[in-house]
Every structure is written in C-alpha cells, then in structure tokens.
Amino acid sequence: MLHGSICPVTATIAIAGVAAATLFARKSDTRPSASRFALVSGTVFALQMLNYPIGGGLSGHALGGLLASSLLGTPFGILSVSLVLLLQTLLFADGGLLMLGANTLNMALIGAGLGGALHARLQAHVSRSVSLVASAGLSVMAAVGALVAELSAAGVGSPALYTSLAIHHIPVALGEGLVTLLLYRLLSAVPLTDAAKGASPVTRSAVWTVYGALLIGALLLAPLASASPDALEGTLSSFHLLPDAPNFAHAPWADYQFTADGGYLSTFLAALAGLGATLLSAMLLRRAISRA
C-alpha cells in the first residue's frame, strides 16, 4: 500500500523515535525490572492476537500502547510495543518488512508515546480512570490519522476510504479504552521499578500468578478469536486496496500457524512460541539497556 518515499521516511522517523526512547529509558529514574518489562510486553503481544467482532463483518483488537506506557513509563512503553511489532513481522509475517517503519510510528511512537504523553497531561485535570480511557481511545484515533496521512501521501485511497477508516475504528478506540482501564487496574499493583527484586516472596508469587493467569488465558483464547478481518484490513479490502502480502521475511509461523494443517492446536502453538520469543527478547533488551 505504501510506496515511493513513504516507507523510507516512516522507517527513518521510527528509528529516530525508538533511539530517543532508548536514551530516555536509560536515563529514567523509574525503570521497570527485566521481568516486569517482559511480562508487560508479553501481555501486549497476547492482546493483539485477540480479535473481537465489532459488527459489519469486521473485528478489532487491542493495541496495548497506552497500557504499556502506563505500566512501564512512556519510553519503555514505546520500546515494548516496538519489540512486539518487530517480532510479529519476523515470526508471523504480520505487518511486513516495508511497513514496519509505519507500523512502529503509528502504534509505538503515536500509540504508546503520544498516548503516554497525553495521559500524563490529562491526569492533572481529570481522574486517572478517565485519563486512561480517553488517552487510550484518542491514541487509536491518532494512529488512524497518521495512517490516513501516509496513505494520502502515497496517493492511495480517497476521502471515502479515509472517512470509512475513521468510522470503523471508533469501536476499536472505545474497546481500547475499556481494556486499558481494566488491565491497568488489574496489573498496576505490581511493583514498577527494580526495587521489586526486594519484594517479599508472597508479592513475587502474586505477580507471577496474575500475569501467568492472564497470559495463559490469552493463549487459550487466541485460536478462538474472531476470524473476521480487522477494521483496517476489512476496510481496505472493501475498497479493493488490500494487496497480497508475500512472506518476504520468511517468517516461520506465517499467519499465526505453527503447522501447515492449521486448526486450534496450530494457532495455540504459534501463539505460545510467539509469547516465549517476546518474553525472552524483552528480558534481553531490558538487561541490555541496564548494561549500556
């Protein structure tokens, strides 16, 4: 869909944004522990697999950008979502190599970054709950706005397409706000910084119990998620603008299938492998930031 200079430009912005987030993360006084960063990143990965119907033959799924920023701090939230997007591309051919820059810009820098900044500003005027719901929803619509700008710059689509994209993402934005609020309330009791290493065995056990139950539940539900195209794919398809996407990344589990025959077990194993890769990669990234 994106061609010409759009992909290099969005890739350059994404690289610069992620580099800046890394720098701020290294200087942050409230850095999450490695296990915390890994568990939140795993949660973001799992949430993005859980498509739910939104009507009109379309589905939506949580993006998790503001959730990551609210639990980890904005710089680490950006890094968390960026890592998930990278693994989705390399392991599942989800998003595509050329679109990785645009996806990182829209979902990590805008979703987690701009959303996190908006949340920090709104909290001075409204309650935390209202701020979470509003910021999460607005971050989704801002990401859609960025996508519309990118498509327009590439000469793809029309005002009718752009309007349809915005309308179809309104229920996704509402769902994002609700999911963000519910999961933040569930997970925010977990200690935020490296001081969590000194937490009592009971506290550490509770952390792993809550996250473990959440992640296992997501893995079990992933193969049962809505098979309808998401709001982006469905809208583009209805305007006959959804191109075939060859597996340029040679991803081992394309389309979230572990085996060629598909089915529940195949999707479950792919989700399990992806979650394991996310947890391990996030743990290594967080430790690398500490050593840098």
**Vertex 70: Cα angle to 64 and 71 (nearest 5):** 90
Share of the chain above pLDDT 70, in %: 95
Give a three-class secondary structure readout of 175-235.
Answer: HHHHHHHHHHHHHCCCCCEHHHHHCCHHHHHHHHHHHHHHHHHHHHHHHHCCCCCEHHHHH
Q: How far apart are CA 38 and CA 47, in angstroms?
A: 14
Average pLDDT of the chain, as a whole number: 91
pLDDT value for 167: 97
Query: Domain residues for 50?
Result: 6-291
Alpha carbon of residue 147 to chain centroid = 15
116-122 long-range contacts, CB within 8 A, separation 24+: 116/65, 116/66, 116/69, 116/70, 116/73, 116/74, 116/77, 116/78, 117/74, 119/66, 119/69, 119/70, 120/74
Q: Are strands 52-55 and 58-60 parallel, antiparallel or unpaired?
A: antiparallel
Q: Is the pTM of this model over 0.85?
A: yes
Q: 159-164: list long-range contacts, CB under 8 Å, 24+ apart.
A: 160/239, 161/235, 161/236, 161/239, 161/241, 164/235, 164/238, 164/239
Residue 191 scores a pLDDT above 70: no
The CATH number covering residue 148 comes to 1.10.1760.20
242, two tokens: 């959804």
Q: Is residue 282 part of a domain?
A: yes
137 found inside a domain: yes
DSSP 3-state of 53? strand
Q: pLDDT value at position 15?
A: 98
230: left (phi over 0), alpha (psi -120 to 50) or beta: beta
**CB count in 10 Å sphere of residue 3:** 10
Q: List, for residues 121-147, the tens digit of each pLDDT value.
A: 999 999 999 999 999 999 999 999 999
Name the phi and psi angles at 28, rounded to 5: -65, 140
Domain count along the chain: 1
Cα gap 264→213, rounded to integer Å: 20
Residue 105 included in any domain: yes
Give the pLDDT of residue 42.
97
The answer to whether residue 50 is domain-embedded is yes
Domain for residue 1, yes or no? Answer: no
Cα 53 from Cα 62, distance rounded (Å): 12
d(CA 141, CA 177): 11
Is the confidence at residue 87, as pLDDT, over 50? yes
Cα–Cα distances (Å) from 46 to 79, 200, 206, in that order, read 16, 28, 20
